[in-house]
Chain A
């Protein structure tokens, strides 16, 4: 029996069309727009101005606090302006706009392809380096990585969990990375283990990627302490609470963090970025992005410079299909629909999914028949039908006691509802109201 999380879950059509597309380097764009807020936490402060010359890897915006991240230029050229530009959030955000001139890299970056195995830095130095390099969680949550590695006093971490689940349908960027950059990723995992002073790291991969599992199983023999675990395909296994439960059978308490149960979770993409930052001195300014969809001519995986416009990825994958109805930043379960394809790729862009028009609208709504399917698919053990009603009635007190804040917004309830009810929409509304109340209570 393959491991998985025990409660709830769905299995949407996988649609991994780009699983066999080797990672290609996207040609350099003419201009890039790099948002100064690409992470959870305080937006960073731009430290360049119009007319400045920058090289690839130069810092252009500085972290504005502990929970924040540095931003580096992904290209060489001249800063045209620092201005508000529409980004993938759907709002205008401050971006550094750079005209690309050549491809001149910061001299400190080691551009050789050699694999560097020895880890010379100490744990503190590693965390500093990761902080300096602007690394955030590349699974999509974009939480600054150095924060997760700075374990508060009194907490003991005994295991590092590496998320190679990629449970979102369609997306394949982590899958390709595990196949093509496996050694780098494993060294990155060793670096993270050293930073956390743990002896054990578990890589969780869903069983629909047997090539990645066998490839890594072959390699980990040379990396003591790292184990590969195949998991049953079940969404939302990539949620860190579900993944920890599946791998080590520990349950992160309600409202708690993985470190409450002695675990830290990082994505495989983050592990790769950590390798590049620590061993090659290369800050985070590019990432793997899947460009896919049912009607896309050439579903692909690209190595993309941060700030490159999504339109260029679409062109490189054969152009925007005729029947396009929706363009999603991320996967179909948790991704955000874009209102424009002119927006830049950011650190959290794991994929761009193009949905044909016939799959772009919602199911027709009808009345709740209390079939309880939403209850049985909820991986957090909540009752979405009830939370949906309570949110509509603005019963905020009851919403809180019924656990609305435990919702991980995986979307399984809305996905499965035969009546096509927008359960998650109302739960999000309820969450935002309740979190406001909780915040005001603390003051």
Chain B
């Protein structure tokens, strides 16, 4: 008889692996990618490919030559970072800026902390914010969605709905006058607006959310808490003064709220471990996002909001614990 295997229990395992989870995220991102290609044409393809290839390449190079580890780029996490990075930038961004952004995302935000599982901040967002601060002009020239009529090198650019609003409020215009310059809510929902790839179509991102919930890749708590907080906060402001504040639906459908709530804030590594912690995290993101949008200098704030809350995750994890069984005795 062959020798028997010996190991402590359990002896069976769920067939989920890190790789499967990561590729499920990639699948969940595909509808949004398809819509972006439809609206932005070649630019969307070029930007996504550049970001994904350079993220994979930097991870491989760093693991191979600096960390001297077995390269693990097939686990899919670098590909997810690449796609998310592409989703956060204008589709006309020069290739060299994308490569620099990828280097910051993978090299600085991820690998310098020890690779997958150890980074405190969301790598794609670090890359994005780095590019936004370093190359503000290129990073805020948003191509107008005209499909394949859009040329990558010489796109017609325009402001995002949030940008239009910020400018309008700055110029003292009323909200109804600003809204006339902006696509209707229905168009926002389908993604017919200027902006970065991942920001445009709420419907596609929600489709991705449904897929990830169905596959049990993520839980609903973080997206739900962010969306609820933004709805309530902007709703209160809107009810107080609808002439200077946009309605909650506008806030939800523009900018990176859907992308951030569904794909960026739910990044495993940089979000809390307990359900209660996830709610605190999500509510924090919602409050900071609206504060930046309404009171801050930038038209959009969710990237900063997520990064700020990322910094609180270790604190949240050590103070907000799941309810332990038998901790408080409730008999009934």
CA distance A359 to B8 in the complex (A): 14
8 Å CB interface, B1-43 against A: 1-2, 4-14, 16-18, 20-21
A406 and B4 in contact, given A12-B12, A334-B10, A369-B268 (Cβ under 8 angstroms)? no
Contact in complex: B273, A385 (CB < 8 Å): yes
Interface of A is mostly: loop
Contact in complex: B274, A375 (CB < 8 Å): yes
Contact in complex: B18, A369 (CB < 8 Å): yes
**Residues of B close to A376: CB separation below 8 A:** 219, 275
Q: How far is the CB of B75 from chain A (nearest CB, A)?
A: 7
Interface centre among A371, A373, A424 (most CB of B within 10 A): A371
Contact in complex: B13, A363 (CB < 8 Å): yes
CA distance A386 to B272 in the complex (A): 12
A406 and B324 in contact, given A251-B331, A370-B117 (Cβ under 8 angstroms)? yes
CA distance A145 to B309 in the complex (A): 53
* Smallest Cβ-Cβ distance to A5: which chain B residue: B325
CA distance A409 to B321 in the complex (A): 20
Chain B: interface residue count, which band?
35 or more
A366 and B329 in contact, given A324-B4, A360-B5, A383-B273 (Cβ under 8 angstroms)? no
A372 and B274 in contact, given A338-B4, A339-B4 (Cβ under 8 angstroms)? yes
Contact in complex: B324, A254 (CB < 8 Å): yes
Interface residue count on the A side (C-beta < 8 Å):
76
The residue from B7, B10, B116, B327 contacting A333, defined by CB atoms under 8 A apart: B10
**Residues of B close to A417: CB separation below 8 A:** 13
Contact in complex: A320, B1 (CB < 8 Å): yes
| 10 additional A-B residue pairs with CB within 8 Å, beyond A261-B331, A330-B9, A338-B6 | A10-B14, A320-B1, A332-B11, A333-B12, A334-B10, A355-B11, A380-B324, A381-B324, A382-B322, A424-B10
List A residues at the B interface (Cβ < 8 Å): 7, 10, 12-13, 90, 169, 241, 245, 249-256, 261, 320, 324-328, 330, 332-341, 353, 355, 357, 359-363, 366-373, 375-376, 378-383, 385-386, 403, 406, 409, 411-412, 414-420, 422, 424-425, 428
> What are 14 sample pairs from A and B whose C-beta atoms fall under 8 A apart?
A13-B12, A169-B12, A251-B330, A332-B12, A333-B10, A333-B11, A360-B5, A370-B117, A380-B326, A412-B10, A416-B14, A418-B21, A419-B18, A424-B8
List B residues at the A interface (Cβ < 8 Å): 1-2, 4-14, 16-18, 20-21, 72, 75, 77, 115-118, 219, 268-269, 271-275, 317, 321-332
